[in-house]
C-alpha cells in the first residue's frame, strides 16, 4: 500500500474486530467508502452487492435519506440526554411505546442499550437481580446453546456457544451452561430422523436441567434462527419440544432477536415465525438499520413484576449506560421502523423469499456445497472441506475472496457462506446476487 494511504494507516493504527492481527497487513483492509441501496463501493470505485446488509443489519439499505434527516432534526433539538434516575426524553419514550405496541407477545417494559451484546448482558443481569429480588439467590444458572451467538462481553461471550469466543479468554463464566446445537446434519445420531433429533434436543436440555438441579436454572437464551453460528434453522418440532421443558421448570426464555427482529424471517419477529413465547426479547441491528448504535431489551410482567415489587430489599437496579436510549439513535430507530412499516418490508420479504430460498438451494448443485440452510431473507451455503479437510474454514476464506473479486460481499463462518441482504432487495437483485455466488463457487472449484 502507498505510504499515507488509508490502507497503510489502517494497518498502522487499528486493531480490528474478528481479524487475525498477525495477517492484517498481508491481507490488507478493504476500504468501503459509500453505499446506496443494497450496494457498497470501495475506494477504488469497485461496487459490491452487500449480501450481508453490513453485519446482518442494514434492513432499509444504504443511503436512506429519511434516517439522515431524522438524525439531523434530533441532533439540532437535543443531541444528548440520558435516562438515568427518573430522567427521560421524547425519542426514548416514543420508541419504548412503539416497541411494546408491536411486540409479538405481551411485553411491559423496554430497557435501552447500545449493542446486541449489551442488550443480552443486561438481560442476564436483570435475571440475576430478579432472582435476588425473589429471594432465590441460588437460581442464577443460565443455559444457552452450542453455536449460539449472543455477543462478546465477558458474560455474553460466555453465552455464545462458539469455541473461538471461549478458548482464548478462559470462558465461559461459571453458571453459564450450553446444551446441544440444533444443527441436524452434524449433531444427529445414527438413524435419527429430524423429528427424533428435535425431541432429543429437548431431552438433552431437560437432562442438563435435572443434572444441575432445576431450582438453580434461571433462564434459557436462544436465537429463533442461529445467525453467526452458521445460519442454523431449527428442525421442525424443535421449539414445540423445547418450550414445554422451560415451562415445566419455570425457566425464563430470552429470545435473542438481534438478527431475526424487524422482518428477517418473513414476519416482523422470529418469535412469530416459530410460535415462541419468550419472557424477554433482545433487539438490535435492524432496529435502526445500524445507522446508529442502539439496542433494546423487552421484558414481560413476569420479569418486571418482581423487580418493581415494593417488598424486595435488594437495592436500586444499579445498571445503566451513558447512552441508554440515546435520543438521536432512538429518533433514527423510530424513523427506521416507520419505513419498515410504511413500505411493508415484511410483506416484501414474504413475497420475495421463495425466490431467495430457491436460488440458495440451487447452490447445492455445485459439488463443493454440502448443505444449504435458510428461511425468509437469511441463508447459508456450507462448503465441504474437500481437499481442505484438515483446515476447516480454508475453503470459506477462498470463497470469500472469489466473491469479493466478483463484486459480492458475503461472510464466511468457517466454511458456511452467509447471505442476509438488505430487506429492500428486489427479485432482479436476488438473481444478480446468486449469479455472482454461483460464479464465485465455480471459480473456487476450478482453482482447487
Ligand atoms: N446476538 C446476536 C443474535 C447477534 O447476531 C449479535 C451480533 O452479531 C449479537 C447478539 C451481538 O451484537 P453486537 O455485535 O451488537 O454486540
Closest Cα partner for 273 from 284, 282, 262, 283?
A: 262
| 336 Cα–ligand 1 center, Å | 19
What is the number of residues in the chain?
A: 448
Any ligand 1 atom below 6 A from CB of 150: yes
Instruction: Indicate the angle between helix axes 327-342 and 90-102, nearest 10 degrees.
Output: 40
Helix (H, G, I), strand (E, B) or coil at 198: helix
Q: Is the dihedral of CA 168, 294, 265, 218 positive or negative?
A: positive
Any ligand 1 atom below 6 A from CB of 259: yes
Beta strands in 75-216 (DSSP E): 109-113, 141-145, 176-179
Any ligand 1 atom below 6 A from CB of 261: no
* Nearest atom (ligand 1) to Cα of 285: 15
Residue 171 clears pLDDT 90, i.e. is over it: yes
pLDDT in tens, 38-92: 999 999 999 999 999 999 999 999 999 999 999 999 999 999 999 999 999 999 9
CATH code of the domain made up of 67-342: 3.40.640.10
**Residue 386: predicted pLDDT:** 67
Closest Cα partner for 48 from 40, 37, 56?
A: 40
CA distance 257 to 241: 20
Percent of the chain exceeding pLDDT 90 equals 94
**Residue 388: predicted pLDDT:** 65
The tally of CA atoms less than 13 A away on the side-chain side of residue 60 is 24
Any ligand 1 atom below 6 A from CB of 227: yes
| 189 Cα–ligand 1 center, Å | 30
Adjacent-strand bridge partners of 254: 221, 280
* Nearest atom (ligand 1) to Cα of 293: 15
pLDDT in tens, 103-113: 999 999 999 99
Average confidence score pLDDT of the chain: 96
CA distance 346 to 335: 16
**Residue 27: predicted pLDDT:** 80
Total-model pTM: 0.97
DSSP 446: H
For the chain, which residues make up each domain, given as ranges?
Answer: 31-60+344-447, 67-342
> In the CATH scheme, what architecture does the domain 31-60+344-447 have?
Alpha-Beta Complex (3.90)
Whether the ω angle into residue 247 lies within 30 degrees of 0, i.e. cis, is: no
Any ligand 1 atom below 6 A from CB of 157: no
Amino acid at each position: 500500500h502507498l505510504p499515507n494511504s488509508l490502507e497503510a494507516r489502517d494497518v498502522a493504527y487499528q486493531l480490528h474486530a474478528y481479524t487475525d492481527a498477525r495477517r492484517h497487513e498481508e491481507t490488507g483492509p478493504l476500504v468501503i467508502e459509500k453505499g446506496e441501496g443494497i450496494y457498497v463501493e470501495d475506494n477504488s470505485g469497485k461496487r459490491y452487492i452487500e449480501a450481508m446488509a453490513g453485519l446482518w443489519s442494514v434492513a432499509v439499505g444504504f443511503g436512506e435519506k429519511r434516517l439522515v434527516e431524522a438524525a439531523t432534526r434530533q441532533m439540532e433539538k437535543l443531541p444528548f440526554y440520558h435516562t438515568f434516575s427518573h430522567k427521560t426524553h421524547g425519542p426514548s419514550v416514543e420508541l419504548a411505546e412503539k416497541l411494546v405496541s408491536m411486540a409479538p407477545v405481551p411485553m411491559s417494559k423496554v430497557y435501552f442499550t447500545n449493542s446486541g451484546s449489551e442488550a443480552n448482558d443486561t438481560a442476564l443481569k436483570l435475571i440475576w437481580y430478579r432472582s435476588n429480588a425473589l429471594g432465590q439467590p441460588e437460581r442464577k444458572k443460565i443455559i444457552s446453546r452450542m453455536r449460539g451467538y449472543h455477543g462478546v462481553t465477558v458474560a455474553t461471550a460466555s453465552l455464545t456457544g462458539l469455541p473461538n469466543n471461549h478458548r482464548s479468554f478462559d470462558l465461559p463464566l461459571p453458571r453459564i451452561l450450553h446444551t446441544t446445537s440444533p444443527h441436524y446434519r452434524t449433531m444427529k445420531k445414527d438413524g435419527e430422523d429430524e423429528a427424533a433429533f428435535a425431541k432429543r434436543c429437548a431431552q438433552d436440555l431437560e437432562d442438563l436441567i435435572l443434572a444441575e438441579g432445576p431450582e438453580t436454572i434461571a433462564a434459557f437464551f436462544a436465537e429463533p434462527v442461529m445467525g453467526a453460528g452458521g445460519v442454523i434453522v431449527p428442525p421442525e418440532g424443535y421449539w414445540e419440544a423445547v418450550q414445554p421443558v422451560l415451562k415445566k421448570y419455570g425457566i425464563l426464555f430470552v429470545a435473542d432477536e438481534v438478527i431475526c427482529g424487524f422482518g428477517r424471517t418473513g414476519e416482523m419477529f422470529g418469535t412469530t415465525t416459530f410460535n415462541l413465547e419468550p419472557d424477554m426479547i433482545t433487539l438490535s441491528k435492524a432496529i435502526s438499520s445500524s445507522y446508529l448504535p442502539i439496542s433494546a431489551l423487552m421484558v414481560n410482567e413476569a420479569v418486571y413484576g418482581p423487580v418493581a415489587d415494593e417488598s424486595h430489599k435488594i437495592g436500586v437496579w444499579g445498571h445503566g449506560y451513558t447512552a441508554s436510549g440515546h435520543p438521536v439513535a432512538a429518533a433514527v430507530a423510530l424513523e427506521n421502523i416507520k419505513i419498515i412499516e410504511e413500505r411493508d418490508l415484511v410483506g416484501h420479504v414474504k413475497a420475495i423469499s421463495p425466490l431467495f430460498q430457491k436460488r440458495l438451494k440451487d447452490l447445492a448443485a455445485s459439488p463443493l456445497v454440502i448443505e444449504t440452510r435458510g428461511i425468509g431473507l437469511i441463508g447459508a451455503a456450507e462448503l465441504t472441506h474437500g481437499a481442505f479437510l484438515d483446515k476447516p474454514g480454508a475453503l470459506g476464506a477462498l470463497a470469500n475472496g472469489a466473491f469479493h473479486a466478483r463484486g459480492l460481499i458475503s461472510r464466511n463462518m468457517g466454511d458456511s457462506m452467509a447471505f442476509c441482504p438488505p430487506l429492500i432487495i428486489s427479485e432482479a437483485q436476488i438473481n444478480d446476487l446468486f449469479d455472482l455466488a454461483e460464479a464465485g463457487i465455480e471459480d473456487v472449484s476450478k482453482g482447487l
